[in-house]
């Protein structure tokens, strides 16, 4: 059947947007004639990123609740009502066969209205601590796709929870470039250890402050640094670009960056964690403490318990970083153990597994609809499904 209609929503951050795009790409490959529509928040990055990926998007007037008293909080009830009404109209006009949500407040409004219209709903929860939107929507979902064990505890009893993993960019599933070529691409020497520093596309202020402070320490250890400082901080830190320190606002060729790296320092967003499991390099996580429900720390802790990564909280960086990092750099055995253990947690078929579940739901609905047509002329008392 080629005329399926898929409606997807996930936004606010790349961690919600890119999984939704990856799922859409997989479904489009399977159903080239299908129609796709994204729904996001009007002033968020999905309004730019989704069209760049080749999909249509509708915007809702919605935003999250701030942690302090602001005008945005006062407007929240009005925004919520507006978004629910707009989402209901979009669902009615598009008439999707399946609704897919990957988190964010726009996703909440859309899937709430899709469920009320009896559209089968699929949720994708990226983090080890379920977000409030997916917890609220769970009771109406056909299936919830997760990336960690024991996620059932966040959802109503009887909810179907499937461990699929998080969708990641396809070029990381099978990195073909070698360390020599990748190192040369960035102007670094493959014969010397390379530290890859990742703070997200916008950058992480505390990680950047740490790297700036420790540049002499890295030099003493003979470590080269490939430093993605983020576009917000590039002008501040580009002065440190040198033969052994490469400062980048953004890394467009992440397969090359991962191939060049011997050790990685990273935030612990769900997408980053899933990528790093595939990459299989020793990693030090420095989670952001400024995210909902401290989910980055929980994501990192889920790996630490399996001896698959190291974790240093921001508050402990000044006291612990040099000791922890020097121990890692000087212990080939610890590096090997971390690399082996993080690789064991990789789920490279996440996107196709999620699409398989969506296909299963569509086929089940098709069978039910066909059966209804067959018995539609009979009294309801004789309907059997």
Round to whole Å and give the CA distance between 61 and 63.
7
Q: Any binding-site annotation on 296?
A: yes
Q: At what angle do helices 270-279 and 332-344 cross, to 10 degrees?
A: 110
DSSP label of 58: E
The helix/strand/coil state of 59 is strand
φ and ψ at residue 283, rounded to 5 degrees: -130, 140
Residue 288 is given by DSSP the state -
Residue 202 CB: number of other CB atoms within 10 A? 16
Which residues lie below 8 Å from residue 304, measured CB to CB, with a gap of 6+?
285, 310, 311
The annotation status of 206 as a binding-site residue, yes or no, is no
Those residues whose C-beta lies under 8 Å from the C-beta of residue 63, and which sit 6 or more positions away, are 41, 43, 72, 76, 79, 105
108 is in an annotated binding site: no
Is residue 198 classed exposed, middle or buried when 0-12, 13-18 and 19+ CB atoms within 10 A define those classes?
Answer: buried
Q: Which of 330, 255, 317, 246 is nearest to 284 (CA)?
A: 317
Q: Which two tokens stand for residue 289?
A: 């403490």
15: which 2 tokens?
Answer: 């961690």
Task: Determine whether the annotation assigns residue 133 to a binding site.
Answer: no
CA gap 203, 58 in Å, rounded: 28
In angstroms, the CA 309 to CA 175 distance is: 21
Q: Tell me: is residue 164 an annotated ligand-binding position.
A: no
Q: Residue 245: CA atoms inside 13 Å, Cβ hemisphere, count?
A: 16
Taking the CB of residue 352, how many other CB atoms lie within 10 A of it? 14
How many Cβ atoms sit within 10 Å of the Cβ of residue 173?
15
CB atoms within 10 A of CB 71: 8
Tell me if residue 205 falls in helix, strand or coil: helix
Q: Which positions make up the binding site?
A: 13-15, 127, 169, 201, 296
Q: Which positions make up the binding site for UDP-N-acetyl-alpha-D-glucosamine?
A: 13-15, 127, 169, 201, 296
């Amino acid at each position: 059947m080629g005329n399926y209609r898929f409606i997807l929503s996930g936004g606010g951050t790349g961690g919600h947007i890119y999984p939704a795009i990856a799922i859409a790409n997989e479904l489009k490959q399977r159903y080239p004639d299908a129609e796709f529509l994204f729904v996001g928040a009007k002033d968020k990055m999905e309004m730019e990123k989704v069209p760049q990926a080749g999909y249509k998007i509708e915007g809702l007037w919605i935003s999250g609740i701030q942690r302090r008293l602001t005008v945005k909080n006062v407007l929240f009830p009005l925004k919520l009502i507006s978004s629910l009404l707009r989402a209901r109209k979009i669902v009615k006009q598009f008439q999707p066969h399946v609704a897919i949500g990957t988190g964010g407040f726009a996703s909440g409004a859309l899937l709430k209205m899709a469920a009320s219209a009896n559209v089968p709903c699929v949720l994708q929860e990226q983090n080890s601590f379920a977000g409030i939107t997916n917890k609220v929507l769970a009771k109406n979902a056909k299936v919830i796709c997760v990336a960690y064990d024991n996620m059932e505890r966040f959802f109503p009893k009887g909810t179907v929870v499937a461990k699929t993993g998080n969708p990641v960019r396809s070029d990381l599933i099978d990195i073909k470039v070698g360390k020599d070529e990748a190192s040369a691409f960035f102007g670094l020497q493959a014969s010397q250890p390379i530290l890859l520093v990742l703070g997200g596309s916008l950058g992480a202020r505390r990680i950047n402050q740490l790297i700036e402070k420790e540049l002499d320490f890295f030099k003493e250890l003979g470590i080269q640094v490939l430093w993605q400082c983020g576009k917000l901080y590039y002008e501040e830190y580009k002065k440190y670009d040198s033969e052994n320190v490469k400062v980048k606002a953004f890394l467009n060729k992440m397969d090359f960056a991962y191939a060049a790296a011997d050790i990685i320092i990273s935030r612990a967003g769900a997408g980053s964690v899933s990528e790093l499991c595939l990459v299989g390099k020793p990693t030090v996580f420095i989670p952001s403490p400024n995210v909902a429900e401290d989910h980055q720390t929980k994501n990192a802790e889920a790996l630490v318990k399996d001896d698959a990564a190291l974790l240093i909280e921001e508050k402990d960086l000044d006291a612990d970083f040099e000791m922890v990092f020097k121990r890692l750099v000087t212990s080939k055995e610890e590096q090997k153990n971390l690399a082996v253990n993080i690789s064991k947690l990789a789920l490279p078929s996440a996107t196709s597994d999620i699409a398989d579940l969506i296909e299963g739901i569509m086929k089940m609905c098709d069978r039910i609809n066909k059966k209804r047509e067959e018995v539609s002329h009979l009294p309801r008392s004789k309907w059997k499904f």
